[in-house]
Structure 1
Amino acid sequence: MTTPPPAPFPYAEFNGHPATEADLRIPAFLNYGHFTAMQVRDGQVRGLALHLARLDSANRELFERALDGERVRELIRHALDGAGVRDASTRVYGYLPPGDAETTVMVTVRGPARKSAEPHDLMSVPYARTVPHIKRPGEFGQTYYATLASRAGFDEALLTAPDGAVTEGAITNIGFWDGTSVVWPDAPCLRGITMALLEQELPGVGLESVHRRVALDGIGAFQAAFLTNSQGIAPVRRIDDIALAVDEELMRRIGRAYDGTPWDTV
């Protein structure tokens, strides 16, 4: 029997079957849902248990229903097989169409991605997400401000609360280095999987990790900063007109912590 060619990217499945036109109406007309994004390499994912816990927690909060992790794993494996790939950028979405008793799970598969390690420039913007602890599709505010930042020559938008507190990037978490500790902003935000994994692994490379308030007007007191998301880590070179040193030794140590994060089989 001839093996079928890989499905073209992007590829999507709903509850384990290739997306139909009717399926695609769900995300097109229903923006009340949640998701998680992960990088898959050779059928493995960093922090898979954290991804599954995120999906289950959000599903319970939004829909008052559990989302079984083993079911999700099976759907991810099925979608990867359907796309004919072992390396991919994969997202898992949860929706509850009106009248349905069970959560509809959409799994999307695209080509693998890795965050550029080049230093990033950030533009601060006055925006804080509603219910920030849930990762949701169709975030207009984040996309809007990220677009403005790009048009102004920046790589990413840095979200700030009305009181001037730094919260997170448009699609990242941010950590600061004060010379002694990695400082994560103590503010409402989405606790990213890479951020959570680094918090576990940083002590192993001799770095303390703390949470405290970071004010936009106090960023100049920090020695360095870096970004994290599902695609990896990158140093920050500038926030608005404030230059930050790219601490190569710090990034090497953070990189060792990140590289030491174990991979889990889907």
Structure 2
Amino acid sequence: MSTAASTQSAEARTRARFLCTAANMPSTSNGSSPRPDARRRETASARSPARCPQSGTAPGWPDPCAGRSPATAPVRDGFDDAAFIDRRGRFSEATIWNLAFWDGDSVLWPDAEMLTGTTMGIVRRQLTRLGVPQRTQEITPADLPTLAGAVVMNSWTPGIAVHQINSVPVPEAPRFLQLLHQAYEAEPLTTP
């Protein structure tokens, strides 16, 4: 088995559980969100020991920090990391990850303010080149039961499956993971 196939197999078996929490994004005087470089994120996360979100969580979702240390609350509850939702209830990104979702045919990118990662840019560019359908749309916690898969990605990997966000299970999507890895590996290497 090739190294790439071995890596894909290992990552396909590693399925993460994410806690959904709100990013505390201050509003400007006219009520709009600030520029991405001006925002401040506060969330409960094992990898980001910050204060609990003052803006709370999405309606109907539990407060991840209630009576606990914000740095360890998600891990103690069995979560691997935290995914952010904005003030409008839309998924944006995770602590050190970009999010991507799958509807069974198309890659869905969150329509919300986020820091676009290098790997996300590579994957999007190569998915387009490969003819894989993709679109940007608002994705909320209420949409989770209708989705066919979810991943996180960053400079370490073009995709790790997320199998649960809060108490909502997310289906396995091996074809989705394979497409993301294929797209990433299609990026040509360049020399200076």
Check whether TM > 0.5.
Answer: yes
2:59 is matched with none
In the alignment, the residues of structure 1 paired with residue 41 and residue 88 of structure 2 have an alpha-carbon distance, to the nearest angstrom, of 22
Q: Match for 1:186 among 101, 106, 111?
A: 111
Unpaired segments of 5 or more residues in structure 1? 1-115
Q: Is the 8 A contact 2:106 2:132 kept in 1?
A: yes
TM superposition score normalised by structure 1: 0.51
Q: Match for 2:78 among 143, 149, 153?
A: 153
Q: Match for 1:238 among 164, 171, 179?
A: 164
**2:36 aligns to what SS in structure 1?**
coil
**1:158 aligns to what SS in structure 2?**
strand
In the alignment, the residues of structure 2 paired with residue 156 and residue 126 of structure 1 have an alpha-carbon distance, to the nearest angstrom, of 13
Residue 123 of structure 1 pairs with residue 48 of structure 2 = no
- The percentage of counterpart residues that share the same residue type is 25
**1:168 aligns to what SS in structure 2?**
strand
Q: Is the 8 A contact 2:23 2:41 kept in 1?
A: no
* 1:84-134 Cα deviation digits (max 9, x unpaired): xxxxxxxxxxxxxxxxxxxxxxxxxxxxxxxx7211111001224566734
For these two proteins, the number of residue pairs brought into alignment is: 150
Return the letter of the residue paired with 1:123.
L
Return the letter of the residue paired with 2:21.
V
TM superposition score normalised by structure 2: 0.68
Return the letter of the residue paired with 2:183.
A
**1:263 aligns to what SS in structure 2?**
coil
Residue 214 of structure 1 pairs with residue 117 of structure 2 = no
Q: Match for 2:128 among 196, 203, 223?
A: 203
1:146/1:242 CA distance change after superposition, 3 Å: farther
* 1:15-62 Cα deviation digits (max 9, x unpaired): xxxxxxxxxxxxxxxxxxxxxxxxxxxxxxxxxxxxxxxxxxxxxxxx
* 1:184-223 Cα deviation digits (max 9, x unpaired): 1100111111111111001334411211111112211111
Unpaired segments of 5 or more residues in structure 2? 1-9, 27-33, 51-69
Larger CA Rg, structure 1 vs 2 = 1
* 1:60-79 Cα deviation digits (max 9, x unpaired): xxxxxxxxxxxxxxxxxxxx
Q: Which has the higher helix share?
A: 1
1:260/1:193 CA distance change after superposition, 3 Å: same
* CA RMSD in angstroms, aligned pairs only: 2.6
Residue 173 of structure 1 pairs with residue 98 of structure 2 = yes
Shift of 1:140: 5.7
Equivalent runs, 1:1-266 vs 2, <5 Å: 117=11, 118-129=14-25, 133-134=36-37, 141=43, 143=48, 144=50, 147-232=72-157, 233-265=159-191
**2:119 aligns to what SS in structure 1?**
helix
Return the letter of the residue paired with 1:259.
E
Return the letter of the residue paired with 2:119.
T
Shift of 1:251: 1.0
Q: Which has the higher strand share?
A: 1
